Copies of this chain bind each other. A is one copy, B any other.
Amino acid sequence: MSEYSRFKVRGYHLDQYGHTNIGAYNTFMEEARWRLFENYNAVEFFSELDLALTLVNSEVNYRRPCSLGDALEVQTKVMRIGTTSCKVQQSIFLDGGNTHVVDAEHTFVLMDKQTLKSCKIEGKAREKLEQLAQVF
């Protein structure tokens, strides 16, 4: 399904203990969010409205280590859409989906690219995020 992104743990993702480093997990999650948005044409959509989603809060649990060659699946869900912010949940699973490696909840606000200030989530932008939220 489109809301899953797949990544493989490479040598350059590893720390001195042979475990996937924190930066690699964060990059996997960031790339997975971009892929979800791309699948729903949300990148161009927000760009044309001169809006961008900006991260304001992250809560991440690193539940167990991963190793070279591990095949990871990142699941991305657009959740609660509030007046001014929007929650995105992400989970990283080891291949097959039975082993939960990372779970995270990120909060985004909508930034007006002209003023670089946050703004209300309303109108077309709200509809688009609701469309993304109904993927699941």
Closest B residue to A59 using CB positions: B59
Across the interface, do A38 and B8 meet the contact criterion of CB distance under 8 Å? yes
Q: Which of B17, B58, B113 contacts A59 (CB 8 A)?
A: B58
Please indicate the chain B residues that have their CB under 8 angstroms from the CB of A96 in the complex: none
Across the interface, do B61 and A57 meet the contact criterion of CB distance under 8 Å? yes
Across the interface, do B62 and A57 meet the contact criterion of CB distance under 8 Å? yes
Please indicate the chain B residues that have their CB under 8 angstroms from the CB of A59 in the complex: 57-60
B interface footprint on A95-123 (CB within 8 Å = 1, 0 otherwise): 00000000000000001010010000000
Main SS of the interface on chain A?
mixed
Known: A56-B61, A60-B58, A116-B65. A15 touches B12 (CB 8 A): yes
User: Which A15-33 residues have a C-beta within 8 angstroms of B?
Assistant: 15-19, 21-23, 26-27, 30-31
Please indicate the chain B residues that have their CB under 8 angstroms from the CB of A11 in the complex: 15-16, 34, 52
CA distance A22 to B93 in the complex (A): 23
Residue A14 is within 8 A (CB to CB) of chain B in the complex: yes
Q: What are 10 A-B residue pairs whose CB atoms fall within 8 Å in the complex?
A: A8-B34, A11-B16, A12-B27, A23-B23, A43-B68, A55-B62, A57-B59, A57-B62, A58-B58, A65-B116
